[in-house]
Amino acid sequence: MKNEMHTNDMGMTAGSAKESGPERVNAFSDGIFAIIITIMILDLKKPEAPTFAALAQQWPTWISYLVSYLFIAIVWTNHHFLSKHMHSVTPGLIWANFGHMFAVGLIPFLTSWMAETRLAPLPVAMYAFVFLLVNLTYLALIYQTLCKYSGTTASERTRQLVHLRSVTTIGAFITATIISFWLPYLGFLIITLCLTLYLKPEGALMPRTSITKNKTHASTILAEFV
């Protein structure tokens, strides 16, 4: 009887750990990303006439959609790789993820506004500002995942690369926000160029030794519930 109770307690503990683990955070985030992309697709307007000229007239819509889709794909990829280094879910991590999802959720609205106004100064400036907001909330997520706890192992080189890239893009997004009030096309170009800096996510920057240590650490935690 005692053995059965002990086994049940261990099963409940393992189930609780699984329920409160990173899987739920990742599932929630993936759902948000899917909704955002769906909203953007539904916002696409059909040309007024079945001609290439009518299609070409909608170039602000297509370029806004392409850049926003690329941005969301990059954000999801970085979030996916970063989630591999989440060993436990804390209140700080949950709220950092909520803040990140809130910022990303503003993209469809600004994409549509920017397309309808044909890249007018204010919509482009707000678009750049939201990119800045997404970057800042992503930094909070990085801090909660890679920097705050000793359980996550990130090399000093990885931390330096993350810091350098973050400072560079924050400065670029601030510059794009200001410039867009006078030169919206240039501001939009700066935004687009900044995205190339995030094509390789933080998780991919982690050296093999760090990844091995992380896997060993995760295996140790799992073994405690077996």
Per-residue confidence (pLDDT) for residue 54, from 0 to 100? 87
CA distance linking residue 59 with residue 185, whole number of Å? 13
Domain count for the chain: 1
What is the pTM (predicted TM-score) of this model? 0.78
Q: What is the mean pLDDT of the chain?
A: 79
| pLDDT over threshold 70, residue 199 | yes
Q: 3-class SS at 192?
A: helix
Q: How confident is the model at residue 101 (pLDDT cuts 50, 70, 90)?
A: very high
Domain range for 62: 2-223
CB atoms within 10 A of CB 109: 16
CA distance linking residue 199 with residue 195, whole number of Å? 7
The dihedral formed by the CA atoms of 31, 37, 39 and 40, expressed in degrees to the nearest 10: 160
| pLDDT over threshold 50, residue 166 | yes
CB 57 within 8 A of CB 121: no
Q: Roughly how many angstroms between the first and final C-alpha of the chain, as a whole number?
A: 19
